[in-house]
Structure 1
Amino acid sequence: MRGALVRPLRDRRLWIGVAVVAAVLVIGVVAFRRPLAQWLWPDTRIQQLLAQGERALAQGRLSAADGSGARESFEAALALDSDRGEAGDGLARTGLAALAQGKRALARGDVPGARNALTLAQALQVPRAQSDALALDLRRHEAARAGLDDLVTQARHAHDEGRLEGAPDSALPLYQRVLALAPNRLDALEGREDALSDLLQAAHAELARGDLAAAAAKVEAARGYDPGHVDLPASEAALNEAVQQRLRRFDTRLRQGRLAQADADLETLADLRPAYPEVARGSEQLAAAYAAEAARRAGDFQFDAADDALARARAWSPEAPGVRAAAQAIASAHQAQASQRQALSPAARAKKLRQLLARIETAEARQQWLTPPGESAYDALREAQSLAPRDARVREAAARLVPQTQSCFEDALRANRVRGAQSCLDAWQALSVRDAGLADARRRLAQRWIAVGSERLGAGDAAFASEAVRQARRLDSAAPELADFQARVRAAEGRDR
């Protein structure tokens, strides 16, 4: 037995394995001694960082990109232990040292060095009075070296040449440079005022030419240089009046069906006054007009024009009334055209027509006006119209569906079933995009969404109220009660969060 135990101990392979394991352990300890030490004794790492920061501070290396500066060392120590007072004290002393360093740099004429030191001191939150004093000295030094007289002369020449703004060597930017260094310099103040007066006169000329964007850019630039300029209020008033005139022109063009011109007007207005309620309402109206145009073009199988109109509708307001119906109309027109191209015998055509009429009746009974796609009353009617547009039964179905969707809408509206009324309205619009009663129906449904949404909000149903806001805005963004209702919904959502 003893011999059996001793023999493995004399085996050379065993001792070689032990030696290899021991070597690996020794190498691992040597290689990872620092990470292990930091893990086991984190306080040691903090002391190292504090010592490193003190050495860097003593050597004047206040900040370094490689992390060896005093600031970086103290910040690293603070990150390891936010309650460590020595780290915070080190950062405070580093900030004061930066101020002293900045003063010395300024004394020897090193402006970039002084500016960098000031930036560091401000970042380390030195007392405001001390950093402001250094900043003032720095500005005075820059003013003394900047050749302000030359800058004023350059600004005058630029003004005489009509180069008021838009480039660094234009008159207004040059005057601004002078005033940043010498805020009370009278000739620069007077020169800037004259240049701004000329800039605003140019803005009035742009308004007279109808270029609102250029005029607005000049007025905005003038406001940036001197918001208290004497001519600015009159220029802003003239710009606002021009905006109102452009809004009226947009409305006229939209009523006349001149969509491309109305589009250009609204695009200018949206750039200038994106938050205007009139712009939001115009976006809805223009999108609805484009949607109607898309549906009309699709009915004539003019698919390129229909797609272009639908794209513009979606660009202005993808949720506007009629956009979804227009997309459905285009899809149905494609389907109808494909059906037309199929060579059907008279018997097959008659059979197909009977099937479509049956589908219309089935969809009517189920009130499936627009959905599901391909099975709705609208889709079946469009296909039947493409197959036999003069058939008396098809004409009767078309004449029957529009009043039914109107009745569906009115019934749902009376019962406060706003979602159902919405579906019926979409179907009505798809079947008769130019119906004169649609605008009033949209307004009434928007008001009903607000009324029902208010009731549900009072009952604590904020989700339904949010949906009501979206639907009412989509139908009539100018509804009188909408703004107040939207504010109440937002307040309720804020309380829920």
Structure 2
Amino acid sequence: MSERRDSHPGPSERIEPRLGDLDQLDRPLPPPRPPEAPPPPPRRRRWPWLLLGLLIAMLLLWLYQDRLRSLVPNTGLNAALDRAEAALAAGRLEGVDGARALFQSVLAQQPDDERARRGLRAVGLAELARADTAYRAGRLDEAAQHLAVARELLGGGSDVERLEGLLVKARAATRPVDAWLDQAAAAFAAGRLDGPDGAGPLYQRVLEADPGNAVARHGLDQVGATLAAQARAALAAGDTATAATDLDRLAALLPGHAELPALRAALAPASPAADGDAQHAVQNGLAALQAGRIDGDDGALAWFRRALAIDPANAPARAGLAQVAQAWIVQAEAALDAGDRAQAGALLERAATLAPDAPELAAARDRLQTATAATPAAAPAPSGPPSAPAAPAPAAPPVSPAPAAPPANLPAAASTATAAVSPPADPARDARIAELLARADQALAQGRIVLPPGDSAYDLYRSALALDGNNAAARRGLEDLPRRALDAYDTALARGDLARAGELLEDIAELPTTALDADVEQRLGNAWLSLAERQLAGGDRRGATQSLAKARQATPDPARLQALIARLGP
């Protein structure tokens, strides 16, 4: 029997180890396999970061565009600055091509330009030097003009104040103070307390020339005490109309008098209209005016004053007083037609207490002055009114009215007719005119162009012309007011004093015959916009909002305005 071997050993069989091919032992080992390279990392997208950086750069450019714009050289501005500095070196300070105008034009376009600011200050110092030279040479009017410009450009200062004090003293030395004191004493003894030749204004004139004059101060106190006593006596007698008139005279002469508040408080309940309201008094005044009743306790004047005693800011009552003044002017014209110059003068003086700036009043005074000069020797007609016009005020004696300043747009023929008549020589009147001109120059230097009423350059020049319609200095000053106001406006803009520039813009608008160019107001609006943009760039959103509100009132550039509104957001 044959034995069979299975080629596949069973699980219990042993497997012998094998050495392999021993002939291969001397061969070199195969090189090791290189390690496998790691897989490449995933690629990151960089374009979102680049886009974000670009957006941030654009935002910064938008927010700081004003500062960046200032770093870019402006060829036109640099050329203007070069011309301005050349004009300053040549001594050409004023005029269209003068240093002042050129520096101000640069600052109007670039308010932060330091070179222009330094140049404008140099112009101010040059004007101050010219003022000092003119003062030392005795040319006081010329010195006052240069000093006014220096004050505008420099904003004051110790040197300006010193020279202004010297000018005031020099002018005071040329004024007849002793003669004014004598005239004031005589007027007080005659009972003329106020009015052009009254004791009060004469004492005030002395105090303006010599503020430390004790005689004038005591005399002015006596005038105030007399007017207050008259008002108290009228109140005690129940004559509220006279009391109101006396209080108005006292307030016009001495607005800070200690007894005024108490007397006004006593007048209000004494008025019949106090039981009702100011509107009732105004209605009664209008009815009386339509009926031709002006004076008396039931006249229009008394009713309108009662309304103002209740409500001092009542506009209809003030308008009613203006209508009363107009009625007196009409009556004065009728008196002139009848040849009664004395009555016409008294009526015009009464009208001047209510509406001193009325153009009809100025025209009537011109006519009265012409009639007086044409027949100087004619005897005045009786002072009684031909058709029962209002009687003159108790403390307003008839005076010789003088012509008021004709408006700047007066026709040439009318202006020539006004200038053809010169008032007779009067040293007191000439001294008064010189004083008014000095006060007007001082008011102009201090920026009081239109306000306050009665103490502004405009009113003082007009007062001088009312005394002498031919006075060249007063006419020149009045005609030059718009230009001086515009110069002050430009200076305020250049200094960045936008609030003052706004006040001057209102003054310019109130000056008669002044037509504002469209860009004058727009420059103020654009300056407010520039300030708002700087405030917004500095993070002051509240200040930028307030400046934006100011800019809207001054009609700025519409495109810039809308852009700034969009930047501020809701």
TM-score bracket relative to the smaller structure: 0.3 to 0.5
More helix by share: 1
Q: Tell me the TM-score normalized by structure 1.
A: 0.40
Q: Tell me the TM-score normalized by structure 2.
A: 0.35
